Structure 1
Amino acid sequence: MSFDEEMKNALKTFTLESLELLQDMEEHLLNLEDDEAPAERINAIFRAAHTIKGSSGVFGLTHIVAFTHVVESVLDELRGGRIGVGSELVAALLPCCDHITLLVRNVVDGRTEEDAALTAEGKQLLDELNAFTQAAPADKAVTEFKCPREQLQKLENDSVKDGNWHLSLRFGADSFRDGMDPLSFVSYLRTLGDIVQLVTICQALPPADEMDPETCYLGFEIELKSSAGKAEIEGVFEFVRESSIIRILPYGSGIGEFIELIDELPENLSYLGEILVAAGAITRHELDDALHHQQNKMQTAREQGNAEAEAAVPALGEILVKYQAVSEPVLNAALEKQKQVKEKKNQEAQSIRVDAERLDKLIDLIGELVIAGAGVNLRSRLFADEGLKEMTGETMRLIEEVRDGALQLRMVPIGTTFSRFQRVVRDVSKELGKGIDLIVTGGDTEVDKSVVEKIGDPLMHLVRNAMDHGIETADVRLACGKPARGSLTLKAYHSSGSIVIEVSDDGGGLNRERILAKAVERGLIQAHDVLSDHEVYALIFEPGFSTAQTVSNLSGRGVGMDVVKRNVTALRGNIEVDSRLGAGTTMRIHLPLTLAIIDGFLVGVGKATFVIPLDRVIECVALPEDAGEREYMDLRGEVLPLVWLSQVFDVESHQQRRHNVVVVEHAGNKAGFVVDRLQGEFQTVIKPLGKLFTYIKGVAGSTILGDGKVALIVDVPTLFEFCERANRHAEHALPAPSHAS
């Protein structure tokens, strides 16, 4: 793989991970105010900004680094408790999160250079954000030379911290003999910054009559304020490094800067020494010396055969701290970074990213395998070979397991979609001037990825309508005896082999009479028509239908609800409405768990074959001989509406002595599909119908049988509409069951 390809792949990984971090960041921001102990959320938000900033710097995306740095600074203030959590701060941080997302998405689209318009927008956001920061005190830049004992006492008490580097210098005794002047090195330090404090260490001085004029006895403790890196400062003492003890430690603001640098390092460094060198906390010389010291200790213990001494060899971090190559807080930050890298690598070892197109291709191939397997199974039944039947049966079992495993790969939690609405509810409720709380349940309910991708827009329409038309303003709610703040609930759960998504509000509910009046006005129904609540509420999904008295920016023009139904129907689902005036409304969407492969139940009507989704089938019974062609039957004292598939699909039925009834269930209701033959279970690979057949009702798709023939897949929710009239007609047709003994 070429270098350019490697960079492209790395950049793709960066954008994917950054977008995931930004999504988590937004979620934590939205829940920040309601968290009684927000420290962990704040840390998570800060870490997300840190990671994005550091990774952006690796790829030279300086405009993202610059913007994120300011956001990160404010988050650092928040983390340190210098800024309090409040709605104003969250409201300022959320647009910044959006802006970073936009910058990253530009990188996804190949636009890696800075955009002037976006930079201007970003500056405006940062100006608003900077209002929350506190001005830091001005740095001092004073160079002082005081008496050794007094200044040493100050350093030991840690009372003066104007510099960001502390240098502990002990020059070798032969420095003068080697032609080196210690003071010249100290003077050269001025070219790198300001010497804020200097203490001369003279404890090694012997009595005057014992002094050797060619021997160096002096050492220095220096506090340096400099923007130079550790390696550059160490380079000043290159000629005396071997014979002297040179310790360079950050402290004060310097420690914080190193910890920040360590946090920003990319995730490809897994060794402690590499992390510290990459951050500039230690130099390569210091690392080599520490490793050499550790190896010598280990080798000595092994040569002596001393297992206890070998086990007691200090870790690299201990050696570096002991010899003052690094401060303990910086070491702890590096150890934490090392731990995070190891944890991430362990997670990556357990999971891999798979391109969606490859997964779709795998599902398609397994679908073809299912069809081919069904053909082999059908052929095996034609031969009286029990061994062949057993082998094909085992093959079909394995194919079914492979099918279920492949479909499971496409299953994702619906909560990812639900989390998008935290921000929507917050922004829209603010725009409407209403207090609305979002309640999410069942977010871990899994559904096919293709379903998740396509259900987002319909849910968005329903959520906006509920906030705009459903939930009342605070004064109206208080007058009705309700809490001032409204509640909007998103709920998901599995039911009868499908997923159900509910959008509920505790608002005013649907006005049945107003809907009827509007429907009559538009000519959708006649004034004398008698409709059930279900049929009345279904009218709101007609194109252009609206009972809103005012038109807002969000809704009220009758555009959207018909699109919702169309999109749900395209997913082989249906939507129903429950509402009580003054108590609220629930929009309930029923969707299949997957759009690719299902278990079906084969039935025959005349020469045609149909597939009924097996998860809808409750039982099969024989149609009573005296039933004729009635629209209902008595099923153990229960009125069961009947749907004759021969009439629905205009298929000539074979004259049977007795017809069969497949009892199906949908949304808590039952119906019976009258068929000629029952042909058993069948693994069904769903094939979409052509555009010519798009508007045919009652058909959800097609499948290919083992003998190569095509069978239509019955759309159960749509056929239930045929039962409505029969159900109402039959309510009083059957006598009440006798309870007499």
Structure 2
Amino acid sequence: MFEDHIATYREEAAELLAELETSLLDLETRPDDRELIDRVFRAMHTIKGSGAMFGFDEIAAFTHEVETVFDLVRNGRMVVTKELLDLTLRSRDHISMLLATATEGMPVERGTGDQLIDGLRRLLPPSVLHRGAEAVPLAAQADEVERAPLQTWRIRFQPHREMLLCGSNPLALINELRELGTCLVTAQFDAVPPLDSFVGEHCYLSWDIVLSTVRGEEAIRDVFLFVEDDCQLNIELIDEPALEDRQPEYKRLGEILIERGDLAPEALDEVLRHQKPLGELLVDGGMVSPDKVAAALDEQQHVRKTRQEQANTESAASIRVPAEKLDQLVNLVGEMVTVQARLSQVSNALGDATYIAIAEEVERLTNELRDTALNIRMLPIGSTFSKFKRLVRDLSRELGKEIEMETFGADTELDKTVIEKLNDPLVHIIRNSIDHGIEAPAERMAAGKPTTGTIRLGAEHAGDSVLITIHDDGKGIDPAAVRAKAVRLGLLSANAELGDQEIFACIFTPGFSTADQITSVSGRGVGMDVVKRGIEGLRGTIAVDSELGRGTTITLKIPLTLAIIESLLVQVGDSHFVLPLAPIEECVELSRADVEASHGRNLANVRGHLTPYIRLRDQFAINGTRPEIEQIVIVAVQGVRIGFVVDFVVGEHQTVIKPLGILYQDVRGISGATILGDGSVALILSPADLVRMAETAEQRKP
């Protein structure tokens, strides 16, 4: 059980570290943003507190020192500077390293942490430092900060019974409260059951605490920040000596007992039963009518009930589910889609109205279940975008460039599997934009540009796909240079008449690079071919648009999900094939007369435009007689219209993607398979691979 909680902490710590990095990078552009400062502090405070709970002492001790500095920032005693953010980002990386080290059971290297703490200490303002500060922990130095007036707080801390099962230690929280000031703690044992019903893993105690401190309510709540969902916590200011108009007498005994929870209001009412309720006294005194008293009581009860219902709803608004369970759910839904297709086919063959009605109802429910299951796995792509801000920041400094990164469409949702596989292609593209695209400040100034370059990364929905664009305002791609290099490599003939789009496609060839020098960042010709393979592995497309001197835009078109896709089912002979629906533009007829008019060339005249096509019958060596009128499915492949000739277009199809066996994983032109309603298998085609295969075959012809 404890190991499960440790695994949960590691997962949550990784999420908090990602949030911490994003907040720090945002803070670099908005150093006075109070909300960002609070987010940084809360993330570090939670990492520290939970780390101490689960035995990650090195993480807790180091994070406590960094947290203390941001406590000074939060209290207005320090300002956010570039040096502070640099050290804090490096501290975040060190915490991540400590987490990985603890996970793998390796020894801790403390030198880096000590250097970071020394660097943070040197940033402390003179009002905080004192003699011998070099040997005093940051947390102790922070105690020298000017305090607010002394205040006394009443704290009622009642843990949920299952708190201990989550690995939290209430005594550690109380000891942390003692560090804030003078603390009086009284344990309450009323809820402790008899031994025969006592559960050793449950927490039955609660605590009444009176704390006098100068740190304020925020510091008190920070102590309970990472257990606030596992307890009932009441914090109330009961005394403030600095106030000149405070009353010499304190509250009555009955009020104190009720507020502390030692006496029920009903018991006090019983003792004071000789007194009438306030409403009755007001009515008897002729001060208000009975109806108005009743209306006020109704309002009181309604508001209490509404607040309680809202609290219950908010407490159950979300739950954490392991990704493996979601994957299993989607797989089961995929199997159900296949069975539903079989049911529809059988019911239509039988022609029974009752069976058909049942099949239609099952189809409706299956579609709703499919959409719901897929939506559960959808995540905002902003979680991936935020990682690249750090990449741009660090790499631009390494290259001596000034680059800012802008993002849009961070709320655009994609399947979590797609997001995970997008990381490497986006890293390669952004690194190339920084190294090849954005010029050095002096070069930009000479070109009349701002010295600071800009990379814009964004996403937007486009039907059942997402368009991801990466734009830089750098020097752009010179098509003449690309063409010359492609000719030298034998990729293009010197006489070929090509447009810019076709020339730019050469940069995705393995080993192709226009860089004059090989650096640690790029120039070896490895990267853009990896990008292309990665995007096509997601059944997506990539397009490049560049203007010399103005910049480059790379557009990725990615399907929303990899589990179930909208597709077009086609037939060639007795075989069925599936084409992804997203890149399909239209379907047209191809008659025998059209074939004869092309004089042996695979070209079709579609509304005045010649469109090349590939015969799937020839591609897969399928025997049989072609129908008099065939169908051409026209697909956009990297901005070029290509046709695929089939015997029949069956129609749209909900395709549940099944991976191919190990013997068929490397078959080109096929990206997977699906099971049709009659139990037969249809292959899912990869249009981009089929086009490349056809081009290769054409070049090999004598």
What TM-score, normalized by structure 1, do the two folds share?
0.72
Tell me which residue corresponds to 2:136: none
Tell me which residue corresponds to 1:358: 325
SS at match of 1:457: helix
SS at match of 2:335: helix
Residue 594 (structure 1) aligned with residue 594 (structure 2): no
Structure 1 pair 696–310 and aligned structure 2 pair: CA distance change class (3 A): farther
Structure 1 pair 603–136 and aligned structure 2 pair: CA distance change class (3 A): same
Distance in 2 (CA, whole Å) between partners of 1:643 and 1:654 is 17
Tell me which residue corresponds to 1:290: 260
Tell me which residue corresponds to 1:122: 113
Distance in 2 (CA, whole Å) between partners of 1:457 and 1:309 is 74
| TM-superposed deviation, 1:436 | 0.5
Matches within 5 A, 1:213-228: none
Matches within 5 A, 1:474-485: 474-485=441-452
| TM-superposed deviation, 1:59 | 2.8
Matches within 5 A, 1:312-327: none
Residue 505 (structure 1) aligned with residue 454 (structure 2): no
Distance in 1 (CA, whole Å) between partners of 2:12 and 2:510 is 41
Structure 1 pair 635–63 and aligned structure 2 pair: CA distance change class (3 A): same
CA contact (8 A) 1:53 1:264 kept: no
CA deviation vs aligned residue, 1:92-112 (integer Å, no higher than 9, x gap)? 1111122223333445x264x
SS at match of 1:628: helix
CA contact (8 A) 1:164 1:251 kept: yes
* 1:40 counterpart (35, 43, 48): 35
SS at match of 1:659: strand
CA contact (8 A) 2:31 2:80 kept: no
Structure 1 pair 444–357 and aligned structure 2 pair: CA distance change class (3 A): same
SS at match of 1:272: strand
Structure 1 pair 29–166 and aligned structure 2 pair: CA distance change class (3 A): closer
CA contact (8 A) 1:608 1:711 kept: yes
**428-437 vs 602-611, which deviates more?**
602-611
Which residue identity is paired with 1:32? L
Residue 102 (structure 1) aligned with residue 69 (structure 2): no
SS at match of 2:29: coil
CA contact (8 A) 1:11 1:59 kept: yes
Tell me which residue corresponds to 1:397: 364
| TM-superposed deviation, 1:464 | 0.8
Which residue identity is paired with 1:63? E
Tell me which residue corresponds to 1:739: none
Count of paired positions = 591
CA contact (8 A) 1:163 1:226 kept: no
SS at match of 2:471: strand
Structure 1 pair 309–417 and aligned structure 2 pair: CA distance change class (3 A): farther
Could you tell me which runs of 5 or more consecutive residues in structure 1 were left unpaired when the two chains were aligned.
140-159, 168-224, 235-246, 277-285, 312-341, 726-741
Tell me which residue corresponds to 2:183: 230
Matches within 5 A, 1:442-591: 442-591=409-558
Tell me which residue corresponds to 2:67: 72
CA deviation vs aligned residue, 1:322-342 (integer Å, no higher than 9, x gap)? xxxxxxxxxxxxxxxxxxxx9
| TM-superposed deviation, 1:248 | 7.3
Tell me which residue corresponds to 1:609: 576
Structure 1 pair 646–310 and aligned structure 2 pair: CA distance change class (3 A): farther
Residue 131 (structure 1) aligned with residue 93 (structure 2): no
Tell me which residue corresponds to 2:685: 714
**672-681 vs 468-477, which deviates more?**
672-681
SS at match of 2:419: helix
**640-649 vs 569-578, which deviates more?**
640-649
Distance in 2 (CA, whole Å) between partners of 1:233 and 1:625 is 95
SS at match of 1:271: strand
CA contact (8 A) 1:700 1:713 kept: yes
SS at match of 2:36: helix
SS at match of 2:23: helix
Structure 1 pair 74–531 and aligned structure 2 pair: CA distance change class (3 A): same
Distance in 2 (CA, whole Å) between partners of 1:713 and 1:528 is 37
Structure 1 pair 116–623 and aligned structure 2 pair: CA distance change class (3 A): closer
| TM-superposed deviation, 1:433 | 0.9
Structure 1 pair 683–584 and aligned structure 2 pair: CA distance change class (3 A): same
* 1:371 counterpart (335, 338, 341): 338
CA contact (8 A) 2:588 2:633 kept: yes
| TM-superposed deviation, 1:258 | 4.8
Distance in 2 (CA, whole Å) between partners of 1:640 and 1:524 is 23
Larger radius of gyration: 1
Could you tell me which runs of 5 or more consecutive residues in structure 2 were left unpaired when the two chains were aligned.
131-145, 154-177, 188-208, 239-255, 283-308, 697-702
CA deviation vs aligned residue, 1:181-203 (integer Å, no higher than 9, x gap)? xxxxxxxxxxxxxxxxxxxxxxx
Structure 1 pair 653–231 and aligned structure 2 pair: CA distance change class (3 A): same
Distance in 2 (CA, whole Å) between partners of 1:384 and 1:256 is 71
| TM-superposed deviation, 1:260 | 5.2
| TM-superposed deviation, 1:303 | 6.7
SS at match of 2:629: coil
CA contact (8 A) 1:605 1:654 kept: no
Tell me which residue corresponds to 2:614: 643
Tell me which residue corresponds to 1:14: 9
Distance in 2 (CA, whole Å) between partners of 1:436 and 1:231 is 54
CA contact (8 A) 1:302 1:310 kept: no
Which residue identity is paired with 1:306? P
| TM-superposed deviation, 1:648 | 3.0
CA deviation vs aligned residue, 1:677-716 (integer Å, no higher than 9, x gap)? 1222322111122344344433222111222222111223
Distance in 2 (CA, whole Å) between partners of 1:310 and 1:670 is 87
Residue 690 (structure 1) aligned with residue 661 (structure 2): yes
Distance in 2 (CA, whole Å) between partners of 1:307 and 1:11 is 54
CA contact (8 A) 1:448 1:593 kept: yes
Cα RMSD between the aligned structures? 3.8
Matches within 5 A, 1:622-701: 622-628=589-595, 630=598, 631-652=602-623, 654-665=625-636, 670-701=641-672
* 1:269 counterpart (231, 238, 261): 231
CA deviation vs aligned residue, 1:71-98 (integer Å, no higher than 9, x gap)? 1111011112222222121111111122
Which residue identity is paired with 1:402? L
Which residue identity is paired with 1:632? L
Distance in 2 (CA, whole Å) between partners of 1:477 and 1:53 is 44
| TM-superposed deviation, 1:60 | 3.8
Distance in 1 (CA, whole Å) between partners of 2:280 and 2:388 is 60
SS at match of 1:528: coil
Structure 1 pair 252–589 and aligned structure 2 pair: CA distance change class (3 A): closer
Distance in 2 (CA, whole Å) between partners of 1:533 and 1:105 is 47
Matches within 5 A, 1:95-244: 95-107=90-102, 109=103, 111=105, 115-117=107-109, 119-135=110-126, 230-231=183-184
Distance in 1 (CA, whole Å) between partners of 2:218 and 2:324 is 45
**27-36 vs 72-81, which deviates more?**
27-36
Distance in 2 (CA, whole Å) between partners of 1:226 and 1:489 is 47
Distance in 2 (CA, whole Å) between partners of 1:229 and 1:36 is 35
Distance in 2 (CA, whole Å) between partners of 1:227 and 1:445 is 44
Which residue identity is paired with 1:704? I
| TM-superposed deviation, 1:545 | 1.8
| TM-superposed deviation, 1:496 | 4.0
| TM-superposed deviation, 1:661 | 2.7
Tell me which residue corresponds to 1:238: none
CA contact (8 A) 2:182 2:213 kept: no
Matches within 5 A, 1:291-306: 291-292=261-262, 295=265, 296-300=267-271, 304-306=275-277
CA deviation vs aligned residue, 1:378-431 (integer Å, no higher than 9, x gap)? 222322323322322222222222112111111111111111001111111111
Which residue identity is paired with 2:326? L
Tell me which residue corresponds to 1:199: none
Distance in 2 (CA, whole Å) between partners of 1:411 and 1:448 is 4
Structure 1 pair 308–58 and aligned structure 2 pair: CA distance change class (3 A): farther
